[in-house]
Chains A and B, each alone.
Chain A
């Protein structure tokens, strides 16, 4: 059974970098036919796609966040990660990792989600 689990600090100071990791179990990332992504949810912005990565290292970013976001993958650890720099209070949200549900396609529905992790930006 495929499962995803987010991990990382729940509190980040303004102007610092938010770093999260998603650990995938029940599915092997090396040579995966699926893409993997990050989505966040906040009362003010709703559900917002952040970025997507493939096992090969190919990446796709939301233009609205691209200048501040890095997504990466470590297939040896079966993990992928998110870094968001220069955070402000507007980046306070629940961050989810998820699988893109159509094989070999970077943009599709999201069929498996982690439970989410709340990240608060505050000094």
Chain B
């Protein structure tokens, strides 16, 4: 199985400041033939299911604010919240779908 490792476990960011979350996979999730990274990012608030924010490492889902962006390739990925808002307090997860079983990172808690 591909192991997804997120860092940091938690971070505190001031309102309006940038938050950066890292995700590293134990092997590449880049499918070279299609030049696509098989990586997604989710946001989970208390008592709610995970919400898909970004797929293919950098494609924002419809309705997701543009302050959320994904970057990276191969084994190293980043989710950036450019200007943290109060409603962004949540736990964020990365997930690879390059191989079966799909696997998730352990999560990063973002606080104000």
B40 within 8 A of A: yes
Contact string, B68-112, partner A, CB cutoff 8 A, digits 1/0?
Answer: 000000000000000000000000010101011111111100000
CB-based contact B97/A114 at 8 Å? no
CB-based contact B104/A109 at 8 Å? no
Contact string, B29-62, partner A, CB cutoff 8 A, digits 1/0?
Answer: 0000000001010000000111110010000010
CB-based contact A96/B49 at 8 Å? yes
A111–B48 Cα distance when bound, in Å, is 14
The chain A residue sitting closest to B107, CB to CB, is A46
A115–B44 Cα distance when bound, in Å, is 11
A123–B6 Cα distance when bound, in Å, is 36
Q: What's the least CB distance linking A107 to chain B, in Å?
A: 5
Inter-chain contacts of B97 with A (CB < 8 A): 107-109
With A46-B106, A107-B97, A111-B61 already in contact, the answer to whether A101 and B49 are too (CB < 8 A) is no
Interface magnitude class on chain B: 20 to 34
Inter-chain contacts of B48 with A (CB < 8 A): 115
CB-based contact A113/B50 at 8 Å? yes
CB-based contact B49/A114 at 8 Å? yes
A63 within 8 A of B: yes
How many positions in chain A have a CB within 8 Å of any CB in the partner chain?
A: 21
- Within 78-103 of A, Cβ neighbours of B (below 8 Å) are at 96, 98, 101
The chain B residue sitting closest to A61, CB to CB, is B101
Inter-chain contacts of B40 with A (CB < 8 A): 109-110
Q: What's the least CB distance linking B28 to chain A, in Å?
A: 16
Q: What's the least CB distance linking B92 to chain A, in Å?
A: 12
The chain A residue sitting closest to B93, CB to CB, is A47
A62–B107 Cα distance when bound, in Å, is 21
Inter-chain contacts of A109 with B (CB < 8 A): 40, 52, 55, 95, 97
- Within 44-81 of A, Cβ neighbours of B (below 8 Å) are at 46-49, 60, 62-64
10 interchain pairs (CB within 8 A)? A47-B95, A49-B104, A63-B101, A64-B101, A109-B52, A110-B40, A110-B52, A111-B52, A113-B49, A115-B49
Chain A residues within CB distance 8 Å of chain B: 46-49, 60, 62-64, 96, 98, 101, 106-111, 113-116
